[in-house]
Structure 1
Amino acid sequence: MIDLEAERKEILRYYRRLLRHAKPFLKDNDAKIIKKAFNTSLEAHRDMRRKSGEPYILHPLAVAQIAVEEIGLGTTSIVAALLHDVVEDTDLEVSDIEREFGPSVAKIIEGLTKISGVFDYGTSQQAENFRKMLLTLSDDVRVILIKLADRLHNMRTLGSMPRHKQLKIASETMYLYAPLAHRLGLYTIKSELEDLYLKYTDTDTYKEISRKVQQTRSARNKFIKDFINPIEEELGKYGFTFNIKGRPKSIYSILKKIKKQNITFDEIYDLFAVRIILDVPLENEKAACWQVYSIITDFYQPNPDRLRDWVNTPKANGYESLHTTVMSKSGQWVEVQIRTRRMDEIAERGYAAHWKYKTEGGGSAEGLEQWINKVRDMLENNTANALEFMDEFRKNLFVEEVFVFTPKGELIILPDKSTALDFAFEIHSQIGLHCLGAKVNQKLVPLSYKLKNGDQVEILTSQKQKPNEEWLQYVVTSRARTRIKDALREERKNKTEQGKAMLDARLDYLGVVDNQQNMNRLQAFFNVATLQDLYYRVATGHIDIKNIKEVIFTATSDKSVSMLDLNTFDREVQKIRGVNSDMLVIGETTSNWDYRMSKCCNPIPGDDVFGFQTEDDGIEIHRTNCKRAVELMSNYGNRIIKTKWTEQKELAFLVGIRIKGTDRVGLVNDLTKVISTSLKVNMRSITIDSNDGIFEGNIMVFVNDTSHLDKLIQRMSKVNGILTVERFD
């Protein structure tokens, strides 16, 4: 039985908490407007409940709370957050909202409703959805910020959703929302979204790292206390007003480091950062940060390669801070971040804080304004389909930057890994299209030269120069790619017309009629897919016009192409690997779906898996923590099929195990004994490299399922001299 009175009290508690956080910036009539929005939302969602069973109104209240407390938005955003689902879920229209709450709120609600609107058939629904969301950036960035708050609350309450929904929502979050939060400078939200993604897609790893972080907490706190003691005393002597806090790394970033550097949890030296926040007036900020840096390095030796100065050149999302990594007395590296209160608020709250300081005449949100203008530019000039667009968007706007200069000393900011050719297109499309090469710091370099911070770049051009297909491999910016593709398309169109004219003349000469049947014969003879291809190849000389002879049109050409049916081929491979159709439950039943194991992550029984419906109607089975999973689940959510293993045991699956250890005589012998005798596992191959007394090896073995694999890994870890044993894809 639902206790309605207890629910009513809970709703009011949430509402009062929201007002308490909003109070500092409420003006004349604001409290009344918020109350009106709350009542409208309460009434509209009166009979609705969330999947968890709680009243629906708690969701808009939570989104408004995140908007105020964690992003720092104001009254208009609170009202919009409270009403964000009203138009979509109830009979109220945008016009009703405009009449009651004014044009600003209505415009934000319209933007939010658009995001979950109709889709073009044939494009991936999800990508189209994302594209629409980004289009709303042009109108009002608050749309995206409220959407982020909405997504954060959905991720926090994902536990009540069914498994396949969890995977889809988590992957979508990782694909677009976490990078977007990063780009808008909302680091805290970005980190939480990444951690929640990991919690639902790779639960075991998440729990394991959480446990280890918890275990090391008290030792870490003592360490931080000892580390900051002398610094606090010294800062006090210099009369600084400051605040120091230790901040552990997020679980996702710890995992990323473990994978990237191929190390264990215990080898990560900077599990936390110490942050020093200063209270100083705007005009003294830079000097104060450097003075504190000098105080810290009096006590601890800095690592010169790890100094990052974002105080003089802020990141494009407005992030300002001075980072250094120093050696503590106990021989551990510690990252220290030095910043002012203003910088800290911008780092935590991103765009909204920028806005606040900008309007107060403090710092400037120029970097971010430029970024949003760049997004607009991309949206207006992009002709690609939604999926390609998303790809370009992520590549271009969610990366670190490289700072370079023109010959006259003007600063140009490009995405990391940009080349001389990207730089040329950034200056002007025509310069890009006719770019021959470049001079970087007075030295000649090729088009593919990757720019480094501080390079001074001069572009060399020639009217004779034209883009070719290879150029697409040299560029990373969306602008350059779009311009090159347009030029190649134009060039191809001209060549195609030229080829058609050449072919028509040849057919005339041979006295052959230009009809469908004859064209089909030509395509079959030269094995080309389309007529356009045929014309193009004639024009470029890939098909010699003299080789087009009468015999092609008269003899019945016996040029049949035999191809092994790919599905049959996959089934043969599966037979060898030992997967059969009774082993997986795909969808709701064990119906005989035609499926194959994906090559990118080689799932084995016991792995957490999902099915993906491919174009040819077969099902591809992937591990949920596979590299491609995020992209598949976020872009093609409607083609994801929940899948789990049944209780079949006696089959062997090939899996890779990577080992590291200290080299000693007889070690390989001990290892192979564990593998072949104690667990009756067959080994397919073993490669071991030894260097300076440390060895690394890869072993391919056949196992039945993940628990069989875990047992094997446990036993191998116990062999004397083995340091780490882990599975690899």
Structure 2
Amino acid sequence: MKEKKKEYFSQYYSEDERRVIKSKYRDILKRAEPFIQGDDLKQIRKAFDLSMDAHKEMRRKSGEPYIYHPLEVALICVEEIGLGPTSIVCALLHDVVEDTDLTLEDIEADFGSKVARIIDGLTKIAENFEQSQSAQAENFRKMLLTLSEDVRVILIKLADRLHNMRTLESMARNSQLKIAHETIYIYAPLAHRLGLYQIKSELEDLYLKYNEPEAYKSIANKLKSRKKKREEFIEKFMEPIAKRLKAADIDFYIKGRPKHIYSIWNKLRKQNTTFENIYDLFAIRIILKNISPEATDREKAACWLAYSIVTDEYKPNPDRLKDWISTPRSNGYESLHTTVMSHTGVWVEVQIRTERMDDVAERGYAAHWKYKGADTSLNKPLDQWINQVRETLEAKDNSAMEFLEDFRGNLYNEEVFVFTPKGDLKVIRKGSTVLDFAYEIHTEIGSKCTAGKLNGHLVPISHVLENGDQVEILTTKTQKPSEDWLRFVVTTKAKARIKDALKEENKTYVADGKEIINKKLKILNIENSLETLNQLRAYFNKKDYNELYYFFGKGYIQPDEIRKFKSEREALENKRKKIALKEEDYKTAKSFEKAIRKSKGQDHLLIGDDLQELDYTLSKCCNPIPGDDVFGFLTVNEGIKVHRTSCPNSQQLLTSYGNRVIKAQWSSQVEKAYQVSIEMSGVDRMGIIQDISTVISEELHINMRGLNVETDGGFFTGNIKVFVFDTKHLDKLIRKLGKISGINSVKRLRSEAA
């Protein structure tokens, strides 16, 4: 039988490829050995054989056999997340229904309903809904529907996404951007919420590698060059602590690792500083060994003892103590964090935790299963979060994009700890108001909430809560939710409940608005079609049709605004007469790229080429210039717009509407001046404006459109609009300005005004 299989697959895979497949499969079994029991091995083998056969004729963009992908996803599941045999089976089969003739019924017949349900959650929906909706958002909502039943759906999807990001190099540039932005927008925050720190960090780093390749390389090289010095510093820093820990008979080991590249890049950007000026580039982790997970009190006592030893040796910063042992984060994270001053004058972050806590911190939700028998309260924060997801999903009439935005808003947030009048602890999202807290207790209490009593003092329902607040909710029978409440609530639960309450009241306005639009379209002789409604929705920047109708019905948008919409649409139609993109070209990137190839025998948009037959405009939100990494985006009303990949709007466009993205590059024929905005800051002094003008106008002969400078307490900030030919020209200007005495920072703005 084995010989027959070998002979069968030899026509699809080379000898080297079969060797690689065999090696990967053995790795999976080796890692899964502790979890395997009963007929698990038989099921895994059956899934492997089925996947091999289903994908036998398929190849990845890199040219490798497609079967490598499900094998790697299964290996990530078992090795990096810690999942068991069922998840391995699902990982091996996760693409077969979508990519082959096999159905969910076939999967259920061979592997049972549990596996079929997980595979269903991992299978994309058919893209047969309105153009205005996002396929990615709909697929994500479908996947989350299964989350409330089985969290493994999300864990396997994260493993799938991680391997896709690791192998992104072989993809086309527009696909790289789409996948990378989708990853940073949803999947990295989701990994964070599920406590998968390592996977979250790698996803963020890989996003940066493809979206900001130069920044990624620069930070990676600097970290590598300082590795030896970092290791020497950690050794000297830990020497006195290690002696004290041993003397106290505490068994431990040390992990010292640099912050991941994305977090350093984020800090550089937010703090507007240089790599050399960041001191907390790494954290030292003290892991306490041989402490039984069942003895949670002993775990806490050991961590606090280790903390006292560290702070006896080095002076701590009292504002930087974070106790996530007494009150774990909502993803189950437990650790003591402190920042201490080393003997060399450098602040160092020290994290103290047990082996169990470290396992949970690294591998998140999956690690909780391992310890659940020891303490059922360990899963409580994550179970609460899954219940919140379930509540969000119950609002079925929300648009996919609205759901995605609400859901994402609850992924990366921090928590605050507040108390009820009876002293019960409630963990809610940071930034939550009295009204959020009221809805957290009960929907009826939220709907009738009129004020709060905070630590004995009356406060309005919009008051933002802080750690340690004790809150009493005051209610009246006559109170009811108002639209204004949506401005200051932040939790998904409060938003959903307020929207539910407002829906009945709003139905009248929606009906009125629909009638107003229908009449006005008839008067202006505009076809009342789905395409027109989509264009109106986009023109007035509304999420869905109901919101559009509501704004007209409520009188927030006047009917005469449709006349303005008509004239602008006609102007754009006249401008685009030379190209004829069929309606189906809006639906998929493939058909759109066909239209491009017909126009010039190429598969990308050439910017600045006078012979280019496809019309486009440079986006005003980020003002791209030659040399910038860019992409084209097909809008509903304004043709193709060219954006920088670092544009503030790029994440939403690439994530939510990836099917409208096309490759774009600058033509070498370009010789034209483009406007950019530069921001500067520094010490104010006499003559600094003249020095800036000299560099711009006399040394580099650059035209300046505007200069705005503000001073405060001896410091200045300035914004200059200039015209440059390309990024090299711009970089030269930034370097020259940076050398002017008194100037501390010069940078191009990510978001620029027209």
DSSP 3-state at the match of 1:139: coil
Give the stretch that moved more between structures: 370-379 or 682-691.
682-691
Give the stretch that moved more between structures: 66-75 or 528-537.
528-537
Measured after TM superposition, the shift of residue 588 of structure 1 is: 4.9
Correspondent of 2:208 among 198, 214, 217: 198
CA separation of 1:380 and 1:119: change in aligned 2, threshold 3 A: farther
- Any stretches of 5+ residues in structure 1 without a counterpart? 501-514, 522-527, 544-557, 572-581
CA contact (8 A) 1:174 1:197 kept: yes
Measured after TM superposition, the shift of residue 28 of structure 1 is: 4.1
Measured after TM superposition, the shift of residue 132 of structure 1 is: 0.6
- Equivalent residues in 2 for 1:593-612, closer than 5 Å: 593-612=614-633
CA separation of 1:535 and 1:23: change in aligned 2, threshold 3 A: closer
Counterpart check, 1:657 vs 2:678:
yes
Measured after TM superposition, the shift of residue 107 of structure 1 is: 2.5
Question: Who is 2:648 aligned against?
Answer: 627
Measured after TM superposition, the shift of residue 567 of structure 1 is: 7.1
Counterpart-to-counterpart distance in 2, 1:170 and 1:353: 27
The alignment of Structure 1 onto Structure 2 pairs a total of residues equal to 685
Deviations 1:406-465 (A, max 9, x none): 212222222111111111222222322222221111111112111111111112222333
Counterpart-to-counterpart distance in 2, 1:499 and 1:619: 31
CA separation of 1:212 and 1:531: change in aligned 2, threshold 3 A: closer
Counterpart check, 1:269 vs 2:279:
yes
Counterpart check, 1:343 vs 2:353:
no
Give the stretch that moved more between structures: 247-256 or 617-626.
617-626
CA contact (8 A) 1:354 1:363 kept: no
- Equivalent residues in 2 for 1:4-23, closer than 5 Å: 4-23=14-33
**Partner letter of residue 238 of structure 1?**
A
**Partner letter of residue 120 of structure 1?**
F
Counterpart-to-counterpart distance in 1, 2:412 and 2:712: 38
CA separation of 1:534 and 1:169: change in aligned 2, threshold 3 A: closer
Measured after TM superposition, the shift of residue 227 of structure 1 is: 0.9
CA contact (8 A) 2:392 2:496 kept: no
CA contact (8 A) 1:133 1:144 kept: yes
**Partner letter of residue 307 of structure 1?**
L
Counterpart check, 1:416 vs 2:426:
no
DSSP 3-state at the match of 2:378: coil
Counterpart check, 1:82 vs 2:92:
yes
**Partner letter of residue 97 of structure 2?**
V
Counterpart check, 1:281 vs 2:292:
yes
Counterpart check, 1:459 vs 2:473:
yes
Correspondent of 2:225 among 215, 221, 246: 215
CA separation of 1:298 and 1:669: change in aligned 2, threshold 3 A: same
**Partner letter of residue 155 of structure 2?**
L
DSSP 3-state at the match of 1:449: coil
DSSP 3-state at the match of 1:467: coil
- Equivalent residues in 2 for 1:293-304, closer than 5 Å: 293-304=307-318
Correspondent of 1:120 among 123, 129, 134: 129
Measured after TM superposition, the shift of residue 536 of structure 1 is: 5.9
Question: Who is 2:660 aligned against?
Answer: 639
Q: What is the root-mean-square deviation in Å for CA atoms of aligned residues?
A: 3.5
Counterpart-to-counterpart distance in 2, 1:294 and 1:18: 43
Measured after TM superposition, the shift of residue 154 of structure 1 is: 0.5
Deviations 1:486-507 (A, max 9, x none): 333323446899999xxxxxxx
CA separation of 1:424 and 1:291: change in aligned 2, threshold 3 A: same
- Equivalent residues in 2 for 1:225-236, closer than 5 Å: 225-236=235-246
- Any stretches of 5+ residues in structure 2 without a counterpart? 1-10, 525-539, 541-546, 574-598
Measured after TM superposition, the shift of residue 74 of structure 1 is: 0.7
Measured after TM superposition, the shift of residue 570 of structure 1 is: 9.5
Counterpart check, 1:380 vs 2:389:
no
CA contact (8 A) 1:570 1:596 kept: no
Question: Who is 1:550 aligned against?
Answer: none
DSSP 3-state at the match of 1:643: strand
Give the stretch that moved more between structures: 603-612 or 670-679.
670-679
CA contact (8 A) 1:323 1:335 kept: yes
CA contact (8 A) 1:663 1:694 kept: yes
Correspondent of 1:715 among 709, 715, 736: 736
Question: Who is 1:224 aligned against?
Answer: 234
DSSP 3-state at the match of 1:359: coil
Counterpart-to-counterpart distance in 2, 1:563 and 1:46: 53
CA separation of 1:487 and 1:186: change in aligned 2, threshold 3 A: same
Counterpart-to-counterpart distance in 1, 2:183 and 2:741: 43
Measured after TM superposition, the shift of residue 394 of structure 1 is: 0.8
Counterpart-to-counterpart distance in 2, 1:65 and 1:355: 19
**Partner letter of residue 446 of structure 1?**
P
Measured after TM superposition, the shift of residue 622 of structure 1 is: 1.3
Question: Who is 2:178 aligned against?
Answer: 168
DSSP 3-state at the match of 2:423: coil
Question: Who is 2:267 aligned against?
Answer: 257
DSSP 3-state at the match of 1:402: strand
Of structures 1 and 2, the larger Rg is shown by 1
Counterpart-to-counterpart distance in 2, 1:390 and 1:494: 27
Deviations 1:51-110 (A, max 9, x none): 111111111111111001100001111121112222222233333333333333232222
**Partner letter of residue 672 of structure 1?**
S
CA separation of 1:43 and 1:487: change in aligned 2, threshold 3 A: closer
CA separation of 1:109 and 1:486: change in aligned 2, threshold 3 A: closer
Counterpart-to-counterpart distance in 2, 1:531 and 1:117: 28
Give the stretch that moved more between structures: 360-369 or 624-633.
360-369
CA contact (8 A) 1:439 1:460 kept: yes
Give the stretch that moved more between structures: 423-432 or 560-569.
560-569
CA contact (8 A) 2:220 2:261 kept: yes
- TM-score, normalised on structure 2? 0.84
CA separation of 1:674 and 1:302: change in aligned 2, threshold 3 A: same
Question: Who is 1:511 aligned against?
Answer: none
Measured after TM superposition, the shift of residue 338 of structure 1 is: 0.4
Measured after TM superposition, the shift of residue 317 of structure 1 is: 0.7
Measured after TM superposition, the shift of residue 243 of structure 1 is: 0.9
CA separation of 1:718 and 1:364: change in aligned 2, threshold 3 A: same
CA contact (8 A) 2:572 2:637 kept: no
Counterpart check, 1:706 vs 2:727:
yes
DSSP 3-state at the match of 1:176: helix
**Partner letter of residue 240 of structure 1?**
I
Question: Who is 1:507 aligned against?
Answer: none
Measured after TM superposition, the shift of residue 651 of structure 1 is: 2.2
CA contact (8 A) 2:572 2:638 kept: no
**Partner letter of residue 466 of structure 1?**
K
Question: Who is 2:327 aligned against?
Answer: 313
Counterpart check, 1:291 vs 2:305:
yes
Counterpart-to-counterpart distance in 2, 1:31 and 1:269: 50
**Partner letter of residue 738 of structure 2?**
S
**Partner letter of residue 346 of structure 1?**
V
Question: Who is 1:367 aligned against?
Answer: 381
Counterpart-to-counterpart distance in 1, 2:363 and 2:513: 58
Measured after TM superposition, the shift of residue 596 of structure 1 is: 2.9
Counterpart-to-counterpart distance in 1, 2:730 and 2:417: 48
Counterpart-to-counterpart distance in 2, 1:201 and 1:28: 46
Measured after TM superposition, the shift of residue 161 of structure 1 is: 0.6
CA contact (8 A) 2:117 2:146 kept: no
Counterpart-to-counterpart distance in 1, 2:732 and 2:254: 45
Question: Who is 2:439 aligned against?
Answer: 425
- Equivalent residues in 2 for 1:473-622, closer than 5 Å: 473-493=487-507, 565-566=567-568, 587-588=604-605, 591-622=612-643
CA separation of 1:420 and 1:5: change in aligned 2, threshold 3 A: same
Counterpart-to-counterpart distance in 2, 1:560 and 1:273: 57
Counterpart-to-counterpart distance in 2, 1:559 and 1:625: 33
Question: Who is 1:140 aligned against?
Answer: 150
